[in-house]
Copies of this chain bind each other. A is one copy, B any other.
Amino acid sequence: MPDYKAPVRDIRFVRDELLDYPAHYRSLPAGGEATPDVVDAILEEGARFCEEVIAPLNPVGDREGCSWSEAGVKTPSGFKEAYRRYVEGGWPSLAHAVEHGGQGLPESLGIAVTEMIGEANWAWGMYPGLAQGAMNTLSAHGTEEQKATYLTRLVSGEWTGTMCLTEPHCGTDLGLLRTRAEPQADGSYRVSGTKIFISAGEHDLAENIVHIVLARLPDAPPGTKGISLFIVPKFLPAADGGLGVRNQVSCGSIEHKMGIHGNATCVMNFDGATGFLIGPPHKGLNCMFTFMNTARLGTALQGLAHAEVAFQGAIRYARERLQMRALNGPKAPGLPADPIIVHPDVRRMLLTIKAFAEGNRALLYFSAKQVDIARYSQDAAERAAADLLLGFLTPIAKAFMTETGFEAASHGLQVYGGHGYIREWGMEQNLRDSRIAMLYEGTTGVQALDLLGRKVLMTQGESLKAFTRIVHKFCKAHAEDEGLKAFVEPLARLNQEWGEITLQIGMQAMQDRDEVGAAAVDYLMYSGYVCLAYFWADMARVAQERLAAGTVEEAFYRAKLQTARFYFARILPRTRGHVEAMHGGAGPLMEMAAEDFDLGY
C-alpha cells in the first residue's frame, strides 16, 4: 500500500473555495464553534492521526485479519492501540451534542475526518464508524435515560456500537425478519434470533458494545410495519453506570470475506438477551430511515476513499516505472525507457481515477452541507428543502460513488501492470476492499430503485427539480462566459434531457411498473455522471476565477481546469450509452422465462 497522504489541500478547495463552508458555518447555530481556526486544526490533526497511526495498519489488517474464539474476537495487531489514541484525541465526540459529552461541531466536519480515516484504513474506520450509527439512533430516538446511559459512553468512545439488521434469509427485504423481542415485567425485553453480517459486532477495542437491533414484538403486524428497535448491550450497565453482567448476546463466528479483513463481520446470536425498546413499537424501520441518509453518505465516501488510494498509488508508480518510449519519441532520452505516465492510455486511467475522486469529493461535501442544514437550520422551510435535496442525492452518492470507486480501484491496479495483482503493492487490497461498498447499506440496485421510484417518481419529480434548478441557475449565470462555455453548454443540455428522460420513464411506469426497475441503474448512473458534470463545471469556474485573479498556486488551478476538460471529453460521453439503454425498456429484460435462462448444458 502506498504511504497515505491526506488530501487536505483538495478537501479545503472543495469545502472552502467551491462550497464556501466558512459562510455555511456562520449561517448555522451549530456552526459557531466551527471557526476557520478550529476547522484547520481538526483537518491537520486528523490528517496526522490518519497518516501516522492508522494508515500503517491497513496492510497489517488485511494480512492478519480478525480471529475468533469462544472468548471473543481479536482484531489485528495495532488496532486496539490505535483506537485508544483515537479516543484520547477526542475524535468520537466531534459532531455530537455538548450535553452528551460531544464537541457540538457540525456533522459535515465529522464527515471530513471520516473521509481521511476511510482513506487511511477503511477496515479500522468501520469500528468507530458503526458506533456513529448507534449514536445517531440513540440521539434521535433514545429516551433521556438511554442517552445518559449509552450515548455518553459512545460519544466518549469508551463503548462502541453496531447496527443489527440482516438475518440469514433477509437483507434487502427486512419485512421478512424473524428476531423476536418478548416484553418482561420490568419493562425490558428478551431478544432472540440470529443476525448476520454484523460489522464490528465483536472485537477487543472497547470494553462494551451497544447493539442496535431490529426485532419483532409478539403483537407485531407482519412485514416492515411490525419491526421495532432495541438496545442490546454486550454488558448490561451496572447501577453505577459501569459494566454489569454479561448479556446473552454472543458472536457465533466471523465471516471469511474478499476484503476488509481487518473488520470483524459477525454472526450474532441473541439468546434471550436483555434489550430495551428505542422509539415507538413497530416503528423501528421509520426510526432507521431518519438517519439512513447519513449512514449511506458514510458508505458513499468509501467509494471516494478507494479512488483516492488508487490515485495515490497509481500516480507514484506511473512516474517511477520506466517502460517503452512515448509514441511521439523519447521524453526521457537519458533513461533506458520513458516513465509510463507519458503513455496516453496510462493518463486516461490516471485522469479517470482523479476525475472520480475529486468530483465525488465535491458531491460528498455538497451533500454533507445539506445534512448540516437539514439538521441544524432554524428555518423549517430551509430544513425541508435540504432534506428533499439530500434524499435525492443520497442514493446517487451511495451507488455512483461506490461503483466509480470500484472502477477507480481497478484502474489503479491496472496502472501497475502485473505488479498490481501482487499483494505487496497494496493495489489489489484496495480493489478487494472497495467491492463491498456496492453491496452493504443497500446494493446499487436498491439505491437505484430508491432514487427513481421513491425519491423522483413518488415526488412527481420534485426532488429532481431541487437539483436541476441549481444546475439551471448555474448554467444561466455563466451562459456568456467564454471560458466556461465548453462546460456550460453540454451541462445545460444534459440537465434538460434528465427531466425529459424522467418524464418518459414516469409515463411508461404507469403502464408497467417493471419499467422503473428496468431503467433504475442506468438512470442512477446517468444521474451520477450529470451531477459530477455540474460539480466539475463549478470547479472549473472557481479555478478560472482564481487564475484570472492571479495566484501562486497556478498549477493547482490549471490542473482543475484540465481535469474538468478531461471529464467532459472522455467520461461524460458514457451518458449516451445509458440513455440509449434506458430507451431499450423493460421488454428485453422481462421476456425470458425464468426456467429458460440456462439450457446450454
Residue ranges of A at the interface with B (Cβ–Cβ < 8 Å)? 5-10, 13, 166, 169-173, 175-176, 197, 255-259, 311-312, 315, 319, 322-324, 326-328, 336-337, 339, 341-348, 350-351, 354, 358, 406, 410, 413-414, 417-418, 420-424, 428, 431-432, 435-436, 438-440, 443-445, 448-449, 512-514, 516-518, 520-521, 553, 555-556, 558-559, 562-563, 565-566, 568-571, 573-581, 583-601
Decide if B423 touches A257 in the complex (CB within 8 Å): yes
| Residue contact A327 to B517, C-beta cutoff 8 Å | yes
Which residues of B have CB within 8 Å of A597?
A: 315, 341, 350, 354, 559
Asked if residues A512 and B328 are in contact (CB atoms below 8 Å), the reply is yes
Q: Return the contact of A592 from the options B169, B255, B346, B559 (Cβ within 8 A).
A: B559
Enumerate chain B residues within 8 angstroms of A439, measured Cβ to Cβ: 414, 417-418, 420-421
Q: Are B171 and A444 in contact (CB-based, < 8 A)?
A: no
CA of A432 to CA of B569, assembled, Å: 31
**How many angstroms from the CA of A541 to the CA of B202 in the assembled complex?**
58
Q: Is the CB of A588 within 8 A of B566?
A: yes
> Which are the 7 A-B pairs with shortest beta-carbon distances?
A10-B600, A569-B584, A573-B580, A344-B517, A576-B576, A258-B428, A327-B513
Residues from chain B with Cβ under 8 Å of A10 in the complex: 600-601
Which of B417, B440, B574 is within 8 Å of A577, CB to CB? B574
Q: Is the CB of A258 within 8 A of B417?
A: no
Q: Which residues of B contact A576 (CB under 8 A)?
A: 573, 576-577, 580
Please, which residues of chain B bring their CB within 8 A of the CB of A323? 170-173, 176
What's the nearest-Cβ distance from chain B to residue A175, in Å? 8
CA distance A570 to B573 in the complex (A): 16
- Specify which chain B residues have a CB less than 8 angstroms from the CB of A569 in the assembled complex: 581, 584-585, 587-588
Bound complex: CA of A124 vs CA of B354, how far in Å?
38
> When the two chains form their complex, are residues A562 and B574 in contact, meaning their CB atoms are under 8 A apart?
no
Known A197-B418, A439-B417, A588-B562; contact A514-B344, beta-carbon cutoff 8 A: yes
Known pairs A327-B517, A354-B597; list 6 more (Cβ under 8 Å): A256-B422, A345-B518, A350-B597, A559-B599, A566-B589, A576-B576
Say which residue of B258, B354, B414 sits within 8 Å of A432 (CB atoms): B258
User: A594 and B514: CB pair below 8 A?
Assistant: no
Q: Do the beta carbons of B197 and A594 come within 8 Å of each other? A: no
- Please name all residues of chain B whose beta carbon is closer than 8 Å to the beta carbon of A512 when the two chains form the complex: 328
Q: How far is the CB of A152 from chain B (nearest CB, A)?
A: 32
State the CA gap A348–B443 with chains docked (Å): 14
In contact, A311 and B598 (Cβ under 8 angstroms): yes
Complex CA gap A35/B577 in Å reads 45
Q: Which residues of B contact A256 (CB under 8 A)?
A: 422-424
In the complex, A531→B481 CA distance in Å?
A: 43
A344 in contact with B169 (CB, 8 Å): no
- Residue in chain B with minimal CB distance to A406: B410
Q: Report if A588-B600 is in contact (Cβ < 8 Å); known contacts: A256-B422, A345-B445, A435-B428.
A: no
User: Shortest Cβ distance from A68 into chain B, in angstroms?
Assistant: 15
Of chain B, the residue at the smallest CB distance from A6 is B601
- Please tell me if the beta carbons of B448 and A345 are within 8 angstroms of each other in the complex: yes
Distance in Å: Cβ of A289 to nearest Cβ of chain B: 17
A324 near B173 (CB under 8 angstroms)?
yes
Query: Is there an interface contact between B570 and A345, defined as CB atoms closer than 8 Å?
Result: no
Cα–Cα distance between A271 and B435 once the two chains are bound (Å): 42
Assuming the contacts A328-B514, A343-B445, A598-B315, asked whether A573 and B584 have C-beta atoms less than 8 A apart, the reply is yes
Q: Which residues of B contact A414 (CB under 8 A)?
A: 438-439, 443-445
A396 vs chain B, min Cβ distance (A): 16
Contact of B594 with A339 in the complex, beta carbons under 8 Å: yes
Residues of B within 8 A of A431 (CB): 258, 435
CA distance A114 to B6 in the complex (A): 47
**Cβ contacts under 8 Å, A436 to chain B:** 421
Q: Which residue of B lies closest to A197 (CB)?
A: B418
Chain B contacts of A593 at CB under 8 A? 555
A460 to B: closest C-beta gap in Å: 18
By CB atoms of chain B within 10 A, which of A432, A436, A583, A595 has the most?
A432
Q: Is A590 within 8 A of B172, CB to CB?
A: no
B581/A169 in contact, CB under 8 A: no
In the complex the two chains form, is A570's CB within 8 Å of B559's CB? Answer: no
**Least Cβ–Cβ distance between A196 and chain B, in angstroms:** 8
A573: B residues at CB distance < 8 A = 576-581, 583-584
Given contacts A348-B521, A516-B327, contact A7 B581 (CB under 8 A): no
Can you report 12 A-B residue pairs in the complex whose CB atoms are below 8 A from each other?
A: A258-B432, A344-B514, A344-B517, A345-B445, A347-B592, A354-B597, A414-B443, A421-B439, A555-B593, A571-B581, A574-B577, A577-B577
Task: Please state if A8 and B601 are interface contacts (CB–CB under 8 Å).
Answer: yes
Which B residues touch A599, using CB under 8 A? 9, 553, 555-556, 559
Q: Closest CB-CB distance, A193 to chain B, in whole Å?
A: 16
Contact with A589, one of B351, B588, B589 (Cβ below 8 angstroms): B351
Question: In the complex, A319→B408 CA distance in Å?
Answer: 32
In the complex, which of the residues B176, B413, B440, B577 contacts A336, with contact meaning CB atoms closer than 8 Å? Answer: B176
Tell me the nearest residue of chain B to A11, going by C-beta.
B600
Chain B residues near A170: list those with CB within 8 A. Answer: 323
Chain B: minimal CB distance from A564 (Å)? 9
Which one of A344, A559, A584, A596 has the greatest number of beta carbons of chain B within 10 Å? A344
Residues on the B chain within 8 Å of A449, using CB: 345
